[in-house]
Chain A
Amino acid sequence: MSEIFEILLELGDKFAAHIVLAASAIGLGILVALPLAVWASRSQNVARVALGFASLVQTIPALALLALFFPILLSLRGVFGEDLPTLGFLPALLALALYALLPILRNAVTAQANLDPGVLEAADGVGMTSWQKLTLVEGPLSAPFVMAGIRTASVWTIGAATLATTIGQPSLGDPIFAGLQTQNWALVVAGCIASAGLALVVDALLGIVENGFAKRNRWQYGAGIVAVALGVIGALVYQADGDDDDTIIIASKQFSEQYILAQLIGSQLEKAGYSVEYRDGLGSAVVHSAVASSSIDISVDYTGTIWTNELERTDNPGREVMYQTIADWERENTGVRVLGRLGFENAYAFAMRADRAEELGVTSLEQLVPFGPQLTVGGDPEFFERPEWIAVRDTYGLRFGETRNFSPTFMYNALRSGEADVISAYTSDGRIAADRLVVLDDPREALPSYDAMLMLSPRIAEDEGIARALEPLIGAISVEAMREANYAVDREGEGKLSPKDAAARLAETLGL
């Protein structure tokens, strides 16, 4: 319990960011929904289209909606220029505001439709203009119902804002995603407590406002509004305080290795006197554009990933050429500085149980070919569609007797139980060490390399201080060291470490 409490105390900046994001999204939602509701109350067609659109948006999972804004904003750069942010606050704000639209709009439209027709007739009869009718009669009488809609929208938005983490916007989702990935439940629980607590408090405050509107008690709704406003202002001030241009933002994708390396990089920079911030749990697809646009400053990416996704190449010129080509390409095209390789690969590889490999007498893919037809190969669901497998199959003429799909976790169990003889593994996976597996050599270099590289954003590319601080990491991390660190984070029970502790131990091993 005390561990959760300690984590909660350190969540201040995430908390402030979460409040600012959610409040902005709800505010934008209100700004769009209310005029739309007024228009809808005057036109059946507008009502149908607006409510239909808002309901449609609601059927898109929040996570997908957030991710969708990345390509949308990217394509809008043609209109608004290259400075339009595609990650972080802006897409999160737009997606969440869209999400907040429906409850506000629906309640406002329903409230208007249910106003006493006698009162509306009287409003016309006493000579009110359309605007006077809206502000003097329809608005005040609808206010409690509109407020109920805003309340619902707020609770939804505060919950959904945790997903903003995946597109690089800090929020209370950061500890949740990091905790889920590294199975650190204290982090998950702390994040959930913070965001649920925030939702409950906001719901209660807005409930007071709603009630105040219903009872037409100025003091009551005034006090509620002031309390909410103070909360938002507090978060803004806190954020402005912590906002520092010199802070180096270190990103990580959603797996343990990335969390550990981010911590390792962070501690190196802190030792050199830099202040750092972590942007954990970014979607794999957005990390490269985030670093290229300097939304984040440092990431660890892999040669094979960049080769396929950014350079859009399918050939395999070999490990060295691939790395050099990428480094040059980044310098010329994105301004990203590839500082160097960390020394290990997180590549696809074929692994076998040590006893089985010994039995067959194989240490490389070449030697495996004659035994192939008698063996069962296991891979993750996409592996047998990937260019890596096709390359291996065609280069060595490798054929297996049976092909089976497993989720990554079950792949290792299948190998252990003998349901698979060979599996597609990731070279830096901790379970290779834990299960004492043999990784088969690839003498013909059919598998593309996935060298881990340190990437610096254009913003800090020229900063030699940073380069010097990170220099000791270049070429320093062996695949064995990385496996051990990954395993320490991934494992269950005794000896399980947080990414931070695993990074500290790794630093020790490296003699830093």
Chain B
Amino acid sequence: MTALVLVEHEAGQLKDATRGAVTAAAQLGDVDLLVAGENVDAVASDAAKIAGVGKVLVADDAAYGHGLAENVAPLAARLMGGYDAFVAAATTTGKNVAPRVAALLDVMQLSDILSIEGPDTFTRPIYAGNAIATVRSSDAKKVITVRTTAFEKAGEGGPATIEKVASEGDKGLSSFVGAELSKSERPELTGARVIVSGGRAFGSAEQFHALLDPLADKLKAAIGASRAAVDAGYAPNDYQVGQTGKIVAPEAYIAIGISGAIQHLAGMKDSKTIVAINKDEDAPIFQVADIGLVGDLFKIVPELTEKL
């Protein structure tokens, strides 16, 4: 079996999520990579250094400059003529492009897989991770998105050969207008070793940052948030952890003023150690926490930051 993995990149940088997808794809068979973008020589040569990769296909064209699914999907679908599986990370990029590829190939996508049980058989979370389904696909070609926390990151190796492929051109359906990307000196949420995460209890954006920023700095942690905190404007949308936000599995996840709704747990319950700080001793978050501290976060967080 041969798999084509979509390389995720931004501003000339290869995204780490790609490495989890490569590890999953390697369990299926031989792995080639697809780099679609504009001026992506650096990304292609970084991608060629990922261990276990045979070939890196590069489509360098302005049409792919912002990863528009309308342009990338037909390219991937054409290249899939020579592959048995299309694999992407279950990031917002992968989730945007892969189903479009699947429909062009008339394939039912396997979303967010956790494991590969055989060439046609996969496990994936359903119902906010409250159930794990084992499914067998009867499609000749597979289209898969991969939960990156469930697979090791592929390391360095190679170098693989780099091969230019023809562009499908701009389909003229969509164009990129702009992006407002969150800038932070802190580690990226999905790659962080430690995450401190805040909920509705913080009461305002000011208090959220006044209390969590110094704690995160001390712990060299990334900052996450519950949906309630994001909805209330305490934190931007890309901080949201959960069923419909980011899936994280750090060494330590410190949930502060977060009740532990199933939708939140879905995004963090595979963390190695979970710490919960909540004033309600019956909060559901304590049912999954390894270490719990009952009390008022407005007292506890400053004291914790101070003493660390």
Is this pair of chains taken from one and the same complex? no
Which A residues have a C-beta under 8 Å from some C-beta of B? none
The interface of chain B, by Cβ under 8 A from chain A, is: none
